[in-house]
A = this chain, B = another copy of it.
Amino acid sequence: MTTIKTVAEYCGVSVSTVSRALNDHPDVSNEAKAKVKAAAKKLHYVPNSSARDLVRTKSDSIGVVVRGADNTFFVPIVGAIGESCERAGYDMVLRQASARADEIKEGAELVNSKRLKGLVLLGGRYDYAREDAVSIGVPFVCCSFTNQFGNLEKDAYSSVSIDDRASAYEATKSLIAKGHQKIAVLLDSAHDHSISELRYMGYCQALEDSGLPVDQELVCETVDFTMEAAYEATAELLSRRPDVTAVFAVADSMAIAAMKALYEFGRKVPEDCSVIAIDGIESSLYTTPTLTTLSQPQETLGEEAVRILVDVLEGRAQGSHIRLNTTLRPGGTVGMAR
């Protein structure tokens, strides 16, 4: 069997040069890369992805930056990423960051200090610039989001995401179909260049298509994704606009906190106010009533992220972009408007 050592001897270079050349490391000249790759092809060298190949193991780590690490939505995704890395023969190095962190900076640091092969960004902005990809320096995949606002080229990265705008549109439309007209939206920020902004766009589009105005008093920005902020924002909404009859929350966890505030203001769900969200986390199955939500395929998001990243790392594909569907998980929180 051709080993990495065979290739190194054939080319008259070190094993680590072969490894770096095959992985397109910037330290290796293009000439050397071409030579090594040609030799690897000629000798039918197949990189060994098992843990036995120590040369490879030492640096065969995939980093995962979780932006918003306290968001339980990410728990099954991290689990699926971990299992998929394991199966593909890669270590997973995890960094948990706050929902306000600069995930590009965190990721670049992690790649640098841990000499990672590739990176999964779990949660992040949608406005990456070309410089962002350069600073990361290794193949990366956006998991649960993608680039919509920035100037980053499609082939410079990969992504697995849902169609945020379409899902928010669907959620809002389902409230309008029940006769709701005063529909609040509960989100991080309408201009975060992230999921909130896209889901806000879907919300606005649904209102517009139904001839309803976007009323800024019904737009509840929480500034962060915590349940505490969502609770406070809902309490303020109910004081400001007691005429609200429905809430669309951009995340299940925020919807759960909103339901608590509604209850404490003496509003029954769904009789006095309907609630719908996007995510489909486990605990929203156990609210009373059960939360109606558009469920994301969490495990598949994680599995597909690793699959397409490993395909890039092992030279089987260029970056690719996968769009997964959400599924309506009917609960008991949506009713007819009063």
What residues make up the interface of A, taking CB atoms closer than 8 Å to B? 51, 57-58, 61, 69-70, 72, 75-76, 78-79, 82-83, 86, 91-96, 112-115, 227, 231, 253, 256-257, 259-260, 263, 282-283, 285-288, 290
Contacts and interface: CB of A to CB of B under 8 A. Distances in A.
A42 to B, nearest CB: 30
A288 B285 contact: no
Nearest to A95: B82
B96 A94 contact: no
Nearest to A74: B75
Contacts of A114: 51, 57, 91
Nearest to A286: B260
Nearest to A258: B286
A86 B282 CA distance: 30
Contact of A92 (B94, B231, B263): B94
Contact of A75 (B70, B115, B227, B257): B70
B288 A259 contact: yes
A61 B51 CA distance: 15
A160 to B, nearest CB: 19
9 contacts: A69-B79, A72-B283, A78-B94, A86-B95, A259-B286, A260-B286, A260-B287, A263-B288, A283-B283
Given A83-B96, A227-B285, A260-B290, 6 more contacts: A51-B112, A58-B58, A72-B283, A78-B96, A260-B287, A288-B288
Copies of this protein in the assembly total 2
B286 A227 contact: yes
A335 B78 CA distance: 39
A289 to B, nearest CB: 9
Nearest to A256: B286
Contacts of A75: 69-70, 72, 75
Nearest to A231: B286
B70 A282 contact: yes
A132 to B, nearest CB: 22
A91 to B, nearest CB: 6
A290 B257 CA distance: 11
Nearest to A257: B286
A288 B288 CA distance: 8
Listed residue (A76, A96, A231, A260) with the most chain B CB atoms within 10 angstroms of its CB: A96
A10 to B, nearest CB: 26
Contacts of A69: 75, 79
A79 to B, nearest CB: 5
- Kindly list the 10 A-B residue pairs having the minimum CB-CB distance in the complex, ordered from nearest: A51-B113, A260-B286, A79-B96, A263-B288, A72-B72, A94-B94, A82-B96, A69-B79, A256-B286, A257-B286
B86 A76 contact: no
A282 B227 contact: yes
B70 A94 contact: no
A106 to B, nearest CB: 11
